[in-house]
Structure 1
Amino acid sequence: MNAAQPTRMLSGALSCKTTTRGFTLSYELLFHPQSRWRRRGNKNMDHLPDNNSRYKDVDYWDERYKTEQSYDWLGSFSKFQHILENHVKKEDAILMLGCGNSSLSGDMYVAGYRSITNIDYSSVCISTMSARHSDCPGMTWHEMDVRQLSFPDASFDVVLEKATLDALMVDEKDPWRLSPKTSCFIHKALTEISRCLKPGGRFVSITFHSPFLRKRLYARAEYNWSIKKFSYDGGFEYFVYVMTKGEELSPEDAALEKKLLDDAKSPPAKVTTLHTEPDEDFLSNIDL
């Protein structure tokens, strides 16, 4: 096994929370390049939640944003800039979903992208980031829910999200079969994203979810887009999906949609889970 294989295996395997005797393995601990393998008690990790489900809680983010200056999931802009430059033009009107306190919008602004609308459901985040970037004309900040975007149809050339949808799925027990609540949430968000895209516009999704998991969400004809997949090295292999509005799904993706629809009509398969010893230290036993 080469050095890159364990990280790729983990990226695919740890698409849901992993627990050992009540210990919840935080997404950030594994998938943020600067924080991987750090132990609890490190002051840099004080913001980690006790349970991954808190990543869906606006109160958690409000408290975190009061003290945390900046945090970038899945690496900084420089890691995937070469991919974005092929799909996002400098003059494009861009909507940034779940902007958080990431440096992404600011870095893109410096790189020449001057029309960036940022949304987040944390009022603390929006207030802080708006003040921080008050000297950036063309960049705006709005408190908003991704399921209810208050923009007219066909408002943006590009809608971009980085780990926002990942955070909505952190407490799912089975990444292959999302709970009805999460499925509904994701579907509403994707429907709104498609609505706000101009014809020929692109939805750019940056995630650690491999095509085996993420295409199951995006391959739906009703969203009226095609799907292309790219990847980059950020410690782990991360993925960039580019959906183009007005293009049909590829035959492969259309077949995936049909299979998923057929499977939804069938009884769920019985799932076998692996037994984990109560005293096993998961992180310590990973040899990279």
Structure 2
Amino acid sequence: MDYLPEDNSRYKDVDYWDERYKTEQCYDWLGGFSKFQHLLEKNVKKEDSILIIGCGNSSMSSDMYSTGFHSITNIDYSSVCISTMSARHSDCPGMSWHQMDVRQLSFPDASFDVVLEKATLDAIMVGEKSPWGVSPETACFIDKALTEISRCLKPGGRFVSVTFADPFFRKRLYAKTDYNWSIKKYSYGEGLEYFVYVMTKGEELSPEDAALEKKLLEESKGQPTRVSTYQHEDEEDFMSNIDL
């Protein structure tokens, strides 16, 4: 694949994405919107205000718009991406595009009914070498992002995360009392299974997820900071594996 970086750590580099978006027209990680539309429509209303983080050049926003979701704010940290996508969808009233870092969202508290990400967190973590943990730097990045996402959700709002990471690994990131949300898990796909996690702001963690958080806190005492995440030792073929 022409756009595969020489090293997976480049997925964190905005320069890599700027160069890629100069020529790549569209890419949908984890399949197109139609693959998980039935799950999204169970948890997101057409009238909800939606923030899509790490929008990239995916067709997801326009596909959602065409099915009736008309209040969509898109962010990406690539200025090339935002410029291109804004021009491409200038005929969609209610759809906006902003260059922004998910760790420093410039929106007021409780701005959105829904925050949605598809493979954005996967891309951030794909360079990690161990299937059992991420570096302290990446752990800090993810925590800042999730803290900002929680801050921007309205009471009762939902953070929807679409990912290839199964519950054993991904719940270890999301099951944290400080984020003030509950967690539900869905899945889709044939052959390759992908997951949709829905975190609802203002609801408590289930007893199972609360026990997981407690266990992880106990394990971290006296040990270097490592946060378990996902299941593949080396994701150099990540981009091809996640096509549906």
User: Same fold per TM (> 0.5)?
Assistant: yes
Separation in structure 2 between the aligned mates of residue 55 and residue 249 of structure 1, nearest angstrom:
31
1:97 to 29, 34, 53: 53
Residue 216 (1) aligns with residue 158 (2): no
Match of 2:200 in 1: 244
Amino acid across the alignment from 1:261: L
Match of 2:148 in 1: 192
Displacement after TM superposition at 1:267 (Å): 4.0
- Tell which structure's C-alpha radius of gyration is larger: 1
Deviation of 1:79 after TM superposition, in Å, equals 0.2
Maintained 8 Å contact 1:75/1:234: no
Structure 1 segments unaligned to the other structure (5+ residues) = 1-44, 269-288
Distance of 2:152 and 2:131 partners within structure 1 = 27
CA offset digits 1:123-165 (Å, max 9, x no partner): 0000000000000000000000000000000000000000000
1:175 aligns with 2:131: yes
What letter matches 1:90 in structure 2? K
Which amino acid in structure 1 is aligned with residue 198 of structure 2?
V
8 Å contact kept, 1:74–1:234 = no
Task: Determine the C-alpha separation between the residues in 2 that align with 1:110 and 1:141.
Answer: 17
Offset of residue 69 of structure 1:
0.4
70, 94, 99: which is aligned to 2:26?
A: 70
Aligned amino acid, residue 218 of structure 1: Y
Deviation string, structure 1 residues 42-87 (Cα, Å, up to 9, x no partner): xxx1111111111111001000000000000000000000000000
Cα distance in structure 2, aligned partners of 1:262 and 1:171: 27
- Amino acid corresponding to residue 77 of structure 1 in structure 2: F
Higher relative contact order (CA 8 A, sep 6+): 2
2:47 is the counterpart of 1:126:
no
How far the C-alpha of 1:223 sits from its partner, in A, is 0.2
Give the aligned length.
224
Q: Quote how far apart the aligned CAs of 1:234 are.
A: 5.3
Paired with 1:259 and 1:113, the residues of 2 have a C-alpha distance of 39
**CA distance in 1: counterparts of 2:2 and 2:131, whole angstroms:** 27
Structure 2 distance, partners of 1:92, 1:221, is 25
Cα distance between partner residues in 2 of 1:231 and 1:104: 18
Identify the match of residue 166 of structure 1 among 122, 133, 158.
122
* 2:239 maps to 1:261: no
Residue 66 of structure 1 aligns with an amino acid whose one-letter code is K
CA distance in 1, matches of 2:30, 2:66: 20
Q: How far apart are the structure 1 equivalents of 2:92 and 2:127?
A: 36
Contact in 2 for aligned 1:154/1:196 (Cα 8 Å): yes
Moved over 6 A (4+): none
Q: Please tell me the root mean square deviation across aligned C-alpha atoms, in Å.
A: 0.9
Q: CA deviation at 1:171?
A: 1.3
What amino acid maps onto 1:171 in structure 2? Answer: G
TM-score when normalising by structure 1: 0.77
What is aligned with 2:6? 50
Show the counterpart of 1:84. 40
